[in-house]
Amino acid sequence: MDTAWSRRMYHCAPRPSVLDPCIVDRILQFVASPVLLFDVASLLPRSCLSSGLDALLELSNAQPDKHLWPVLQLRADTYELGLRPALRDALGFVGQCSIDASANPEQWADVLWPSTQLHIANIKTPLPPTLAFLTKHKQQIQSVEVHDVEARGQQSSIVSLLKSSVSLRCVTIYWYGNAKQLNAFCKAVLDNAGVVDVRLVNGETPAIELDDSFADVRDDIPLPIPATNSLFSTIRKTRLRALALNGLGFDETKRKAFEKLMMSKNGLETLELVRCHDIVPSSFHTFLFSQTLRVLRVTSASLMREDSFCAAQGSSVHTLDLSGQYIDEYDMLRPMLRGVAQMKHLRRLRLSRVGLNDEAIGWVVRALLPTRVQELDLSGNQIECADIKYFARTLPEWRTLEGLNLSGNQIWDDGASQLFAVLPYALPAFQRLQLFENYLSDRAVMALASALPYLQHMAEIDVSYCGLRIDHVKALIIALSRARRRVRLNVFNSCWSDDEILQVCAMARSARLMATYRTHADVPSSRQKHHSKKHETYARLDIF
């Protein structure tokens, strides 16, 4: 559904005259990611639905660069029968929902509209009622996530669904070693002219967020020859715009075929390779010279060749993600930075969990300061206080930098204080600073409180998991209430009890600010430290 059209339609709907803060808080707790998974289980009073969506749209419009628009997540274990009318109303406003195919999705048939866009997850050997539901609504499906399908008849049904769903745009295939099935799925997907995003994931190994030793993991599943030939030869004739390969192995023949594909005039704009060790070292430079590629993510693999970035000046890539490469360990940082500095179109660079330490920040600053980089992610490294002080002194000179992520480093009080002190003098482009999981005490908090009233351009500051106390947050709330513009401040402390979280929310409301609390089951990979284990959950407590 077109976002602008959806909002026009939505704003024509009637609005209740009274806004219940409790209901709005429960709705807003799900606002934290570019694509909102909006759990409508909290929308019990039907009269408050419009108010909650109003609040969602307010936050969406406040971050137009992310194009936020909610996806209603339908979960069978939390809904009551009396919620159905309200749920149908919500879907009429929002226009799209996420459904788990393994949890009787046919039960939601009565709340869907003919125009509702569907995102189907977890298709595993579906039962006949589920297949009937998917077939009936196949023209509404936007994305699907397919796992191993054991029964041959069901496999044929899934292949038919993938091939004939006109609205299908994104397909994720979790592969467990069945080469014939993968070949059938790939052929069906590529025969569908509407599909623009294909992701092949090794289903027998953990996802990238679940382990911290990716460079040593060599349990890739070899990609079978039929699937390889089907995939690589057909991509050049399709509208495919995004391709992701996770944990899949390549021999010499397949690697050469893939390099030939990347050097051809295909339509690929986004390429993501996770733990594809065998393909990366000799092929990386061919990715940079692709005529169409704009987003390149090569994470948790081994880049040991110093010539990977040679003559990168002609690259059209604007987003480069090299997380988990152990770049500094192989003395790759300086050659890489020299190449990156020549990439005229580069706007976003992510060097998370690559082992940066000592004087690495100086090399980064000297190489990137003359460039037009807008977002820089250095999270999960070993950058220390002295290096951060040097970065802080140069912050007012970054003309195009919009976002900086220094989460999970060793910044401490002195480095953070220096950063906060220069924020009022940063150029208008700089709007987002993330210091997740850095210990901050009185001095740093007071520096941030002193800077908040004078921030003219900042939009978001993340100091969560930094050991803030309740009195620290109180000082920040007072400062934020006097600020010239509304800044989104994430202050969550994992040591707080439920009562302390409620106390923080109450303090924010008393200062006429909004406070939202949200928990999430998975830690985003951008918040993973280099040597840390996976957190069970993470949370946000935003004040703005």
Residue 320 is predicted with a pLDDT of 92
Read off the pLDDT band of 21 (50, 70, 90): very low
The arithmetic mean of pLDDT across residues 116-134, rounded, is 90
State the residue range of the domain holding 496.
3-243+255-261+392-543
Residue 27, CA atoms < 13 Å, CB-side half-sphere: 27
Read off the pLDDT band of 304 (50, 70, 90): low
Residue 496 lies in a domain: yes
Distance CA 367, CA 349 (A): 12
State what percent of residues in the chain have pLDDT above 90. 19
Residue 63 lies in a domain: yes
Read off the pLDDT band of 39 (50, 70, 90): very low
Specify which of 80-84, 149-153, 414-418 reaches the highest per-range mean pLDDT.
414-418
> What number of other Cβ atoms are within 10 A of residue 536's Cβ?
8
Distance CA 411, CA 397 (A): 21
pTM of the model: 0.80
Residue 76 is predicted with a pLDDT of 64
Specify which of 235-249, 304-318, 410-424, 517-531 reaches the highest per-range mean pLDDT.
410-424
Residue 43 lies in a domain: yes
Residue 84 is predicted with a pLDDT of 72
Residue 337, exposed/middle/buried by CB under 10 A (0-12, 13-18, 19+)?
buried
Residue 304 lies in a domain: no
404 pairs with which residues across the strands?
376, 433
Specify which of 233-237, 365-369, 491-495 reaches the highest per-range mean pLDDT.
365-369
Least confident of 96-105, 303-312, 424-433, 437-446: 303-312
The arithmetic mean of pLDDT across residues 241-262, rounded, is 81
What digits encode the pLDDT tens for the residues 421-433?
999 988 888 989 9
Residue 288 lies in a domain: no
State what percent of residues in the chain have pLDDT above 70. 72
Name the helix (H) or strand (E) containing 89.
helix 84-94
Least confident of 55-64, 67-76, 261-270, 476-485: 55-64
Residue with more model confidence, 62 or 347:
347
Length of the chain: 544
The arithmetic mean of pLDDT across residues 112-127, rounded, is 89
Distance CA 73, CA 93 (A): 14
Residue 471 is predicted with a pLDDT of 93
CA distances from 407 to 349, 365, 469 (A): 15, 17, 19
Residue 225 is predicted with a pLDDT of 62
Read off the pLDDT band of 18 (50, 70, 90): very low
Least confident of 34-43, 141-150, 415-424: 34-43
Residue type, 100: D
Mean pLDDT of the chain: 75
The distance in angstroms from the start CA to the end CA of the chain is 30
Distance CA 353, CA 377 (A): 10
User: Would you say residue 36 has pLDDT above 60?
Assistant: no
Residue 93 lies in a domain: yes
The arithmetic mean of pLDDT across residues 149-167, rounded, is 85
What angle separates helix 3-11 from helix 84-94, to the nearest 10 degrees?
A: 130
What digits encode the pLDDT tens for the residues 393-423?
899 999 899 999 999 888 888 889 999 999 9
Residue 220 lies in a domain: yes
- Provide the domain count of the chain: 1
Which of 381, 444, 436 has its CA nearest to residue 412?
444
The pairing of strands 348-350 and 319-321 is: parallel
* SS3 assignment, position 12: coil
User: Would you say residue 180 has pLDDT above 70?
Assistant: yes
* SS3 assignment, position 37: strand
User: Would you say residue 455 has pLDDT above 70?
Assistant: yes
Residue 444 is predicted with a pLDDT of 93
The arithmetic mean of pLDDT across residues 485-489, rounded, is 82
CA dihedral 523, 527, 532, 534 (to 10 degrees): 0
Residue 542 is predicted with a pLDDT of 74
Residue 57 lies in a domain: yes
Cβ–Cβ under 8 Å, residues 98 and 119: yes
The pairing of strands 248-249 and 242-246 is: unpaired
Q: In Å, how far from its chain's centre is CA 510?
A: 33
Q: Please say whether the dihedral angle defined by the alpha carbons of residues 515, 88, 144 and 121, taken in this order, is positive or negative.
A: positive
Read off the pLDDT band of 28 (50, 70, 90): very low
Q: Please say whether the dihedral angle defined by the alpha carbons of residues 34, 37, 39 and 45, taken in this order, is positive or negative.
A: positive
* SS3 assignment, position 490: strand
User: Would you say residue 157 has pLDDT above 70?
Assistant: yes
Residue 329 is predicted with a pLDDT of 56
What token pair was written down for 350? 């992510």
